[in-house]
Amino acid sequence: MSAGSVASLRLPAHVAIIMDGNGRWAKERGQTRVEGHRAGSEATREVVEVAAELGVKYLTLYAFSVENWNRPKAEVSTLMKLLERFLKERTEELLKNNIRLQAIGRLNDLPEKTRQQLHLSIEQTSHCTGMTLVLALSYGGRTEIVEAVRSILREVKLGHLDPAQINEEVVSQNLYTRYYPDPDLLIRTSGEMRLSNFLLWQSSYTEIYVTKTLWPDFRRKSFIEALDDYSTRHRRFGRVS
């Protein structure tokens, strides 16, 4: 399907992606996991550009989970360097494409140099009015909810919030994602059928699309196929229709 035909479809405003399969992609080719991550970085660049081109308003990428810190130190170090390089090399492209960069997660967990580059790229793109690209870094859905509960309890303790007023909106306003709408479409690559602790609260009524394609091979055509599939869905949000 061409980009022109996609433009006439009902596009999701917010797409979230679990980018999975870098390691398996490398293993199948007899390469190191590092090479898989490098290839995955190129897929990320292409998908970001296509999403902005087609008119997606928000794109959230699960780039690094809180569980990923348990990987071998050498691999974690490489991932942080790749992230830093991606930000340095791609910020100009984000500006050119009018893409605003944001990030969610336990950002203070990131190495200082990586964190500094992230904040710099966020600042440099803050005036952009096109698509918002959200990187989930040192992110965990359960951690996010726990931190939201703690924040709400602080407000109650200070007398700023009556416990009787706590509802879904209050919880949502205390999540990392409080500035963004819930995702309409969640894409998972590599064929795994699980959320992996990603956007647990926000994905209550999100449409899910799973593909066996490994992330480094998930490019323009694969992304458009996912959007095409979404356009055929009838979202009822629990209602009968």
User: For residue 127, what are the contacts with CB-CB under 8 A and spacing of at least 6?
Assistant: 100
Mean pLDDT for 14-39 is: 96
pLDDT of residue 138: 98
| 137 sits in which H/E element | strand 132-139
User: Can you say whether residue 218 is alpha, beta or left, with left for phi > 0 and alpha for psi between -120 and 50 degrees?
Assistant: beta
At residue 124, φ and ψ (nearest 5 deg) are: -65, -30
Contact between residue 15 and residue 187 where contact means Cβ atoms under 8 Å apart:
yes
> What CA–CA distance (Å, rounded) separates 109 from 99?
25
**pTM for the complete prediction?**
0.93
What would the two tokens of residue 207 be?
A: 């449409």
Q: Residue 69: name the closest of 15, 143, 176 by CA.
A: 143
Mean pLDDT for 35-63 is: 96
Q: Are strands 100-104 and 207-210 parallel, antiparallel or unpaired?
A: unpaired
What would the two tokens of residue 141 be?
A: 């859905």
> What CA–CA distance (Å, rounded) separates 197 from 105?
12
Q: What is the C-alpha radius of gyration for the chain, rounded to an integer number of angstroms?
A: 18
Sign of CA dihedral 241, 232, 11, 169: positive
Q: Is the pLDDT of residue 192 over 60?
A: yes
pLDDT of residue 10: 84
Give the number of other CB atoms < 10 A from CB of residue 63. Answer: 23
Residues known to be catalytic: 20, 68
**Domains in the chain with CATH codes:** 7-142+182-230 (3.40.1180.10)
What is the per-residue burial (b if ≥16 Cβ within 10 Å, else e) of 122-144?
Answer: bebbeebebbbbbbbbbbbbebb
Q: What is the mean pLDDT of the chain?
A: 94
pLDDT of residue 1: 47
Mean pLDDT for 70-89 is: 94
Q: What percent of the chain has a predicted confidence (pLDDT) above 90?
A: 92
What would the two tokens of residue 133 be?
A: 């690209």
